[in-house]
Amino acid sequence: MKRLIPLIAAVLLAACGQAVPAASPTTAAYPADAVATTVPSDAAYPAASPETTGTSDQKLVVMTHDSFSVSEEVLAAFEQQTGITVEVLKAGDAGSALNQAILSKEAPLADVFFGVDNTFLSRALAADIFLPYDSPALAAIPAELNLDTSNRLLPVDYGYVTINYDKATLEQAGLTPPTSLEDLTKPEWKGKLVVEDASTSSPGLAFLLATVAHFGETGSYTWKDYWRDLRANEVFVSSGWSEAYYTQFSGSSGKGAYPLVVSYATSPAAEVYFSEGKLTEPPTGNLLPPGGSFRQIEFVGILKGSQHADLAQKFVDFMLSEQFQADIPLQMFVYPALPTAPQPEVFTTFAEVPAQEAGLSPEQIEAGREQWIKEWTELVLR
């Protein structure tokens, strides 16, 4: 199966973001790899791309986003053990894929859907497109990851959106890494932070949600006040993660002007892993400011209307098994939901877990998401 890893995909986008000065910023073009944060219309669908990995008469279709990846040998082992042929239907970014699943609920395109995260969990459940399945493997998954008590969507993996910094650039400038979100509004960090567009990018939305959780919506200083201050401090808004990380960020392979970037807590580990032995220490680090990291949890569910619910249950069990879970870190650069799944040394050494993450429930996110995005756009991009 084609290996797709969004975190380290070396795609340098031609589209450029626009700095956001206090005067007249402009918004950047939508990049190919950004993850939509609003469910688009069906007219915006990308073409789904099925990948069949076997030849059995027992065929199971798994619908997912373009970033899904599993080792060929791991998936082949499942097919050999069960006699099931797995067809992976990649349907664009996470938002587009979910929208297709919802709009095709009367005639589902697949048996299993993977890729709903906690920013869209409530919407996915309200659409009533999933069957409950109390997998026996769920008993080994931490309860804090299992956000759906009806067991229609089961947790598979999780990761953290946070802020990375370029170690060398900060050292050369004689700067100590900031330790809080508030620090980013100080004069010494003027023009040094690049973030992603919250209306078109998954990490961009995640960082916005972290600021909403941290600063709140009421009181003398709210999340909107914070973003006004970031804008005044010349934050750069990129169209998506690839452009932000590989073009605008001064660390990694980028030669940009910004030593701070909204990315993932696993990015430093990815830098070491994909250097193929050239690096023993990552050139980047994680800030992990209190309340400034957002945990994204991804879920799998069995689609209503599936003619192969029994086969789908086996695949869900497989995704929660140690065999699949151990494959997750170096395939998708997120953490396995199964705590006993072995993790590679590069993960245990360089992939950090925030001590204090942002706290917003799926219900809070569903209730406020669209309004927050609208207000953020008016504050930062207009």
- CA dist., res. 288 & res. 237, Å (int): 20
Quickly count: other Cβ atoms within 10 Å of residue 312's Cβ.
25
Per-residue model confidence as pLDDT tens digits over 174-202: 999 999 999 999 999 999 999 999 988 88
Beta bridge partners of 85: 59
Q: What is the CATH number of domain 13-31+160-294+354-380?
A: 3.40.190.10
> Going by CATH, does the domain composed of 42-158+296-350 fall within 3.40.190.10?
yes
Beta-carbon contacts of residue 365 (< 8 Å; ≥ 6 apart): 118, 119, 121, 122, 209
- CA dist., res. 288 & res. 180, Å (int): 8
- CA dist., res. 36 & res. 252, Å (int): 24
SS3 percent helix, strand, coil of the chain, rounded to 5, is 35, 20, 45
Domain with CATH 3.40.190.10 in the chain: 13-31+160-294+354-380, 42-158+296-350
pLDDT string in tens for the chain (382-residue length): 333 334 444 332 333 334 443 333 322 222 234 344 344 333 333 344 455 554 456 999 999 988 899 999 999 999 999 999 999 999 887 878 898 999 999 999 999 999 999 988 998 999 999 999 999 999 999 999 999 999 999 999 999 999 999 999 999 999 999 999 999 999 999 999 999 999 888 899 999 999 999 999 999 999 999 999 999 999 999 988 889 999 999 998 768 999 999 999 999 999 999 998 899 999 999 999 999 999 999 999 999 999 999 999 999 999 999 999 999 999 999 999 999 999 999 999 999 999 999 989 999 999 999 999 999 999 999 8
3-class SS of residue 99: helix
pTM of the model: 0.81
